[in-house]
Structure 1
């Protein structure tokens, strides 16, 4: 078992204790459910923007993005390019809408438009999305720290989960936001430090990175042909636009932050601050991935340890040396991309700096997980417990419920992370799951906002049709070869695009037909 030096352990412990102390500090203010979920609407816009930025910069970004760039190219960066248009729509329409309604839940409006079923459906989709997000992030942080410490991934998730639960339960949304402000700075500085260490350890420096990257097409944004069956430029652009529209318009993580701002203008500015921070930051992580690719191309012997580790993990216990070597030799960069960043951290980062880097990785994970826990607890309290179980819940009972729900969702996120151990790519898993769960609720939300004439019956029919399409696109690959014709021909990232448009356009069509008949 690899043990971290005392200095690095001390830095990590100090960081974790600092996060818990933030929760203790803000716990003095958390005497009501409104303070726990809205922070009394007194958070400045710049802090909210930093908080949203930190939520985007999860460990999926810290580990998954360099892994994708290492194993492929910059195709996934197109996701970031799609953000400004989604942000413009959110700032212009969604922020004023939510703040004018005064509802802390993003899903209350759906019940007002279509009935309780619409609200319940969106809540289920949201909670499943949050569990997938938290699980993938728990897995990402464990993947890194296992390589650095030698501890089991399960143990790492449990220890991290307990720390996050403590400061999130004690501090509420205000602690979440202010810790995310700190975490946003730590994450960014950590990434810049890693980039410096890669280049300084590489013969030829930046010029060598550019030469190798250009030769192997590592800087490509993907095919520009209108091909929707592969991860082309257009597929990722469409996916990014729809998922970011869902993030800014339907995700409780973001909607809840709009209510913490002092004004509509401050809330809108927070969205744009997030966008202008995230685009260059995500580019930084793609650059890191390309630099790592060049570094290991120049030092091919170093990658053998990574390939050996992956081969051992994929084969059953007791596999022979010959079997391990055979699989090891067959692995390509895409098969072990997520392992590259942790390996570099283990072998090339000096004592003392390792603790700072781990703190940055922890920041990336903790910011998103704490946000997901708080928003999930809020949704459970408002949209499930108070709506269906106990509408007359007292203020004291509601605050206790929020605490218990926060703990429960933190534990469920840990379980989801443990279940993901062994997946090939963190980023791929997260993108696929988020696209599946988000498609339905985004389509329904757009139908309710844009088509004021659409009523309950049309919305139910459109949603059922959309769910059928989403299920078919997700699982049709399981059909036997004899039914290959009926498999989904589109890339999996198109699920959110087709699913959203199916619900929205079907609802419009049925509404139009009913109007013509009437």
Structure 2
């Protein structure tokens, strides 16, 4: 399928404009503080839009409509947990990071448990970001390859290089301002798509609701208290833990808290970014439901190769190139790339910040000059960007890059979240006790993630009985409870 010249032109102009806009920030006189926190002078609305855009990666842009098309709105329950996670963040985490006077999210762990905790958390974070960036670049390339025949390696390399250029040269100001623009483009593209579906479906919007209702497409899932399948409560609890991780310990978000002018502005930006995601994710789910109704009403418009439910993720990209008016198609393709680029650029900048703050300043040079700090940030941004491209290329041909990403993210992030909560809530746990709790928690996470592969045949009863999404929940709870118990036992012995 060939992309019309006008749509291709809109897409290319958008890509060049974003890269050029990001590069423009490099012409300002900046230091390392400007690169990592924007000098603490960025407006709350731009930071909030950046938080939102970071949340909506290309995975969300394509996977949420595909999920709703395939089943129902069970996945939307994840979004319902965001306000509670944001409330905890603005009450406890935002004030904490604003007071620490460090650009690193993991400086607190060193204060609380010692250097090992900071090293452990920061290395886990960097590995998680590499896997995340590579996955996003790869999944971004898949629909473009399927629809237009564009080379997967070419898309990964060009997109990755584009992001590296402006995030490396412009620092977090470039990341946040380009994120803000890309967030607006993303929302506009989604609304345009939904409007076209309403206009073109025979019978109008009422037909969408009628078909969707008859197929139980608006269901939020079973309300049974069952954590072995994808029930309402399982997704809600999983979402709460994942979003606590995002808003509470993720360097991507912590840097934005510090980039705001005041604590009040940081809180406003957190609420804007988090609450904006809820209705926008609802739009994405509704697009998937509307697409189901659209092709149910007009089955002849969907090729037989895409009619199977195993191809649900490809239906939305196909609709974009086959049904949208010329010009709008280019906007939507730009939106998909915007979602991916905003997430990758954020990870590049935050990873470079972690490398400088948590590693270079700790092991190599405690008090580097501004020139040295900037050189480390540039080299780190370039290195992480190139590494993410290589990870994306390595995913090419993997059966499920998304499953691989979920497994890696659970192993790394579960341990960090549990350690943070232990440090914040349980005051009497020692460094050694925390290390034992983290080790136990990580072992639980590894067992839950890999038991289906290890325990087969007669050993099948030893497999994880819970839904895979519960991995981060159980790992975090294990660390917290064991750390609490060890701390209590230690105190009792002292008494």
* Fold in common (TM above 0.5): yes
* Residue 121 of structure 1: how far off its partner (Å): 1.3
Aligned to 1:516: 492
Aligned to 2:156: 157
C-alpha spacing 1:433/1:75, structure 2 compared with 1 (3 Å): farther
* Residue 436 of structure 1: how far off its partner (Å): 3.1
Q: Which whole-Å deviations, capped at 9, do the CAs of 1:348-402 have from their partners, x for residues lacking one?
A: 1232222111111111111111001100111111112221233343221221111
- Residues 112-511 of structure 1 correspond to what in structure 2 (within 5 A)? 112-307=111-306, 332-333=308-309, 335-421=310-396, 430-478=405-453, 479-511=455-487
Aligned to 1:89: 88
Q: Equivalents in 1 of 2:180, 2:29: separation in Å?
A: 19
Aligned to 1:321: none
* Residue 111 of structure 1: how far off its partner (Å): 1.3
**Structure 1 portions without partners, runs of 5+:** 308-330
SS in structure 1 of the partner of residue 286 of structure 2: helix
Determine if contact 2:37/2:172 at 8 Å carries over to the other structure.
yes
Q: Equivalents in 2 of 1:337, 1:359: separation in Å?
A: 21
* Residue 148 of structure 1: how far off its partner (Å): 4.2
Q: Which whole-Å deviations, capped at 9, do the CAs of 1:42-72 have from their partners, x for residues lacking one?
A: 0011111111011111111110110111111
Q: Equivalents in 1 of 2:107, 2:406: separation in Å?
A: 26
TM-score (norm 1): 0.92
Q: Equivalents in 1 of 2:64, 2:158: separation in Å?
A: 25
Choose 143-152 or 179-188, whichever is displaced more: 143-152
SS in structure 2 of the partner of residue 410 of structure 1: helix
Q: Equivalents in 1 of 2:399, 2:277: separation in Å?
A: 25
Aligned to 2:98: 99
* Residue 427 of structure 1: how far off its partner (Å): 6.3
C-alpha spacing 1:210/1:427, structure 2 compared with 1 (3 Å): farther
Q: Equivalents in 1 of 2:362, 2:29: separation in Å?
A: 23
Determine if contact 2:6/2:330 at 8 Å carries over to the other structure.
yes
Q: Equivalents in 2 of 1:387, 1:201: separation in Å?
A: 60
* Residue 451 of structure 1: how far off its partner (Å): 1.3
Q: Equivalents in 2 of 1:64, 1:426: separation in Å?
A: 13
SS in structure 2 of the partner of residue 283 of structure 1: helix
* Residue 76 of structure 1: how far off its partner (Å): 0.9
* Residue 31 of structure 1: how far off its partner (Å): 2.7
Determine if contact 2:433/2:486 at 8 Å carries over to the other structure.
yes
Q: Equivalents in 2 of 1:415, 1:210: separation in Å?
A: 44
Determine if contact 1:134/1:369 at 8 Å carries over to the other structure.
yes
Aligned to 1:314: none
Q: Equivalents in 1 of 2:193, 2:110: separation in Å?
A: 48
Determine if contact 1:74/1:218 at 8 Å carries over to the other structure.
yes
* Residue 7 of structure 1: how far off its partner (Å): 1.6
Q: Equivalents in 2 of 1:388, 1:138: separation in Å?
A: 32
Determine if contact 2:199/2:205 at 8 Å carries over to the other structure.
no
Q: Equivalents in 2 of 1:74, 1:435: separation in Å?
A: 23
Determine if contact 1:458/1:507 at 8 Å carries over to the other structure.
yes
* Residue 424 of structure 1: how far off its partner (Å): 7.1
Choose 2-11 or 405-414, whichever is displaced more: 2-11
Q: Equivalents in 2 of 1:72, 1:415: separation in Å?
A: 34
Determine if contact 1:467/1:499 at 8 Å carries over to the other structure.
yes
* Residue 336 of structure 1: how far off its partner (Å): 1.3
Choose 239-248 or 136-145, whichever is displaced more: 136-145
TM-score (norm 2): 0.96
* Residue 480 of structure 1: how far off its partner (Å): 1.4
* Residue 303 of structure 1: how far off its partner (Å): 3.8
Q: Equivalents in 1 of 2:242, 2:236: separation in Å?
A: 10
